[in-house]
């Protein structure tokens, strides 16, 4: 092998290592995803991640997106798009560095990871729920959910969306409070206490929303969606409260 070829291969290797790998079957170019969705008449499954700083994003990648059984379940029916917002920008391509902040703003991303369906016109269809299923089962669920029933979509808007809006409002407020705590420059123990206060406040609000969900009369068609709401609320609402001295 000539020195010229060796140098070329080394350059390619360095360039490849400069960027974090997308999950198998995912692309990171939004424009390409839109064109594919239009050409192949498919829905886009978009995952918004913070791959090098977000714990739950890492768990989503490790437990689902990187699994072959998940990839096999979704890639034939969906265009899979990975929108990463890492702290280390060298982990993503130049195109991604330019487009991703705009996409985060366009789709109103408030927390990570966020998973949603997008149509070939770039319009958000719905959020894609993360459920306690195996990678293959969740993949099949997403494929089915990408083809919404218009009657059910109306029911979801009427019965589910109001609760999702309340949950998002609580989460957005908590995120802002947590960011404010970080900027105070407190000692570790004091900062931990402030974070716990924010968490306990979220817990109390989630418990109240949970009571509303349990009391609400949902149509039978939305039993799974009700279970998902309760699962999400229990993720924080079940944390035991700290009692006074």
Q: What are the extents of the domains in the chain?
A: 3-148, 152-237
Phi/psi of residue 135, nearest 5 degrees: -55, -45
- Cβ atoms of 122 and 111 within 8 Å: the answer is no
Residue 123: closest CA among 38, 65, 60: 38
Q: pLDDT value at position 31?
A: 96
Residues 67, 70: Cα–Cα separation, whole Å: 5
Tokens of residue 196, six digits: 């716990």
d(CA 65, CA 70): 6
Q: Considering only CA atoms, which of 96, 113, 122 is closest in space to residue 47?
A: 113
Confidence of residue 128 (pLDDT cuts 50, 70, 90): confident
- The token duo for 6 is 């060796």
What pLDDT digit, counting tens, does each position of 48-102 carry? 999 999 999 999 999 999 999 999 999 999 999 999 999 999 999 999 999 999 9
The pLDDT assigned to 204 comes to 92
Q: Which of 34, 181, 198 is nearest to 119 (CA)?
A: 34
* 3-148 belongs to CATH 3.50.50.60: no
pTM: 0.59
Is residue 221 predicted with pLDDT exceeding 80? Answer: yes
Q: Which position has the token pair 């050409």? A: 39
Mention every residue, 6+ apart, whose C-beta is less than 8 A from residue 187. none
Are the C-beta atoms of residues 43 and 79 closer than 8 Å to each other? yes
What's the pLDDT tens digit per position in 161-178?
Answer: 899 889 889 988 888 898
pLDDT at 120 over 80: yes
* CA–CA distances in Å: residue 121 to residues 7, 35, 82: 43, 9, 17
Closest CA to 145 of 81, 77, 72: 77
- Per-residue pLDDT, 139: 94
Is the peptide bond prior to 113 cis by the omega test (within 30 degrees of 0)? Answer: yes
Averaged pLDDT score across all residues of the chain = 85
């Amino acid at each position: 092998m000539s020195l010229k070829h060796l140098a070329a291969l080394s350059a390619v290797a360095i360039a490849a290592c400069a960027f974090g790998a997308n999950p198998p079957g995912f692309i990171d170019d939004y424009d390409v995803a839109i064109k594919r969705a239009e050409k192949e008449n498919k829905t886009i499954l978009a995952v918004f991640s913070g791959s090098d700083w977000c714990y739950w994003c890492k768990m989503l990648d490790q437990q689902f997106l990187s699994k072959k059984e998940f990839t096999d379940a979704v890639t034939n029916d969906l265009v899979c798009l990975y929108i990463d917002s890492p702290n280390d920008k060298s982990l993503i391509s130049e195109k991604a560095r330019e487009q991703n902040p705009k996409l985060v703003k366009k789709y109103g991303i408030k927390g990570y990871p966020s998973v949603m369906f997008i149509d070939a016109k770039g319009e958000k269809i719905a959020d894609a729920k993360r459920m306690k299923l195996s990678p293959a089962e969740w993949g099949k669920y997403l494929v089915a959910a990408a083809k919404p029933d218009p009657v059910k979509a109306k029911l979801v808007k009427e019965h589910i969306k109001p609760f999702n809006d309340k949950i998002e409002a609580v989460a957005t407020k908590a995120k802002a409070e947590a960011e404010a705590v970080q900027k105070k420059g407190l000692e570790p123990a004091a900062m931990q206490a402030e974070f716990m206060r924010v968490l306990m406040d979220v817990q109390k609000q989630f418990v109240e929303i949970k009571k509303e969900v349990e009391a609400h009369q949902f149509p039978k068609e939305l039993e799974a969606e009700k279970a998902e709401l309760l699962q999400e609320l229990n993720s924080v609402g079940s944390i035991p409260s700290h009692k006074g001295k």
